[in-house]
């Protein structure tokens, strides 16, 4: 499969593909932008034009790639992000307004620049299904897509979402001078909770905290929470305002330290230790360097007596 193109080669292939697909477009899934043919042709490096792309809407009719699905934010099951990470191609089904779409995302390198080439086809008419069968098929596909990136216990994002959809995005955002804030939250003495009250109660506590934190984050754009493993969660906030991020963490920290009552009437005091870090604090564009900084601060919070936030 061909991945390396000159500008002229890519434009020729797009023209051919448009005879088959309803939508053919070049996307940068890291910043969720549709890249127009004019921008591809006129810029030596798209990265140099990113401030203009982000502020002046020079990326075509829709601008953001998720607009075509009537979404207001990045698609949670974005195959183009994974395409860029693995330098391969992926396919998925998507639905909108009861229509079923077949989507192919292919990694391309255009004169040394990496993008995803997305091809979309409405296949609703090609399925020999009744309307009810089509509807059930769509629901099943949406459910399976969500399952892949969702923690089954807490219903927040899982580690797979972080590793497949965010880590590569982080590297690109750093190169574009976009800032990211990270918090690692770890429940104090959680093993003792499981030992003393049972794993069922432990699961209830994980659900309680995840729901509490997730609801608190709804007031903030460009943020998400994921269960990274066991009793450890991470919160990611795409913003250069580290002070605002720290305030956000303090706001959600208080309810996490209140009492929770399990179904047996036991009062359990919950405390949480948190380590925070901002990408502007480090020069590296590797996500795990940011993660390690936050993790070291989490360790300091634990060593200081737990139930603490260390952010500097």
* Residues recognised as catalytic: 231
Geometric angle at alpha carbon 307, from 304 and 312, rounded to 5° = 60
| Interatomic CA distance for residues 231 and 189, integer angstroms | 10
End-to-end Cα, the chain, rounded Å: 48
Structure tokens at 72: 């207001």
Q: DSSP string spanning 99-160? A: EEEEEEEEEEEETTEEEEEEEEEE-GGGS---HHHHHHHHHHHHHHHHHHHB-TTT-SB-HH
- CA-CA-CA-CA dihedral for 246, 250, 253, 259, to nearest 10: 170
H or E stretch at 183: strand 181-187
| Interatomic CA distance for residues 168 and 115, integer angstroms | 13
Q: Which of 183, 207, 206, 211 is nearest to 193 (CA)?
A: 206
């Amino acid at each position: 499969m061909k991945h390396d193109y000159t500008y002229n080669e890519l434009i020729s292939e797009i023209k051919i593909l448009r005879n088959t697909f309803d939508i053919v477009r070049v996307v940068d899934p890291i910043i969720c932008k549709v890249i127009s043919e004019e921008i591809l042709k006129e810029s030596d490096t798209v990265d140099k034009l990113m401030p203009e792309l982000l502020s002046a809407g020079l990326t075509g009719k829709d601008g953001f790639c998720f607009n075509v699905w009537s979404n207001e934010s990045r698609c949670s099951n974005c195959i183009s992000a994974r395409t860029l990470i693995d330098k391969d191609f992926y396919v998925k089904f998507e639905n909108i307004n009861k229509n079923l779409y077949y989507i192919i995302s292919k990694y391309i390198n255009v004169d040394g620049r990496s993008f995803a080439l997305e091809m979309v086809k409405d296949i609703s008419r090609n399925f020999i299904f009744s309307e009810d069968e089509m509807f059930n098929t769509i629901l099943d596909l949406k459910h399976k897509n969500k399952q892949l990136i969702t923690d089954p216990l807490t219903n927040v994002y899982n580690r797979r979402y972080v590793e497949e959809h965010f880590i590569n995005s982080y590297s690109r955002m750093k190169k574009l001078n976009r800032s990211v804030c990270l918090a690692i939250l770890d429940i104090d003495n959680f093993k003792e909770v499981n030992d003393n009250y049972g794993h069922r109660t432990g699961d209830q506590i994980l659900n309680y905290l995840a729901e509490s934190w997730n609801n608190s984050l709804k007031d903030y754009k460009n943020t998400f929470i994921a269960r990274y493993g066991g009793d450890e969660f991470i919160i990611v906030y795409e913003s250069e305002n580290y002070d605002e991020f720290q305030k956000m963490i303090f706001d959600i920290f208080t309810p996490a330290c209140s009492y929770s009552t399990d179904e047996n009437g036991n009062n359990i005091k919950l405390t949480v230790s948190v380590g925070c870090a901002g990408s502007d604090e480090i020069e590296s564009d590797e996500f795990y360097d940011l993660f390690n900084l936050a993790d070291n601060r989490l360790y300091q919070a634990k060593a200081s007596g737990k139930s603490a936030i260390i952010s500097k």
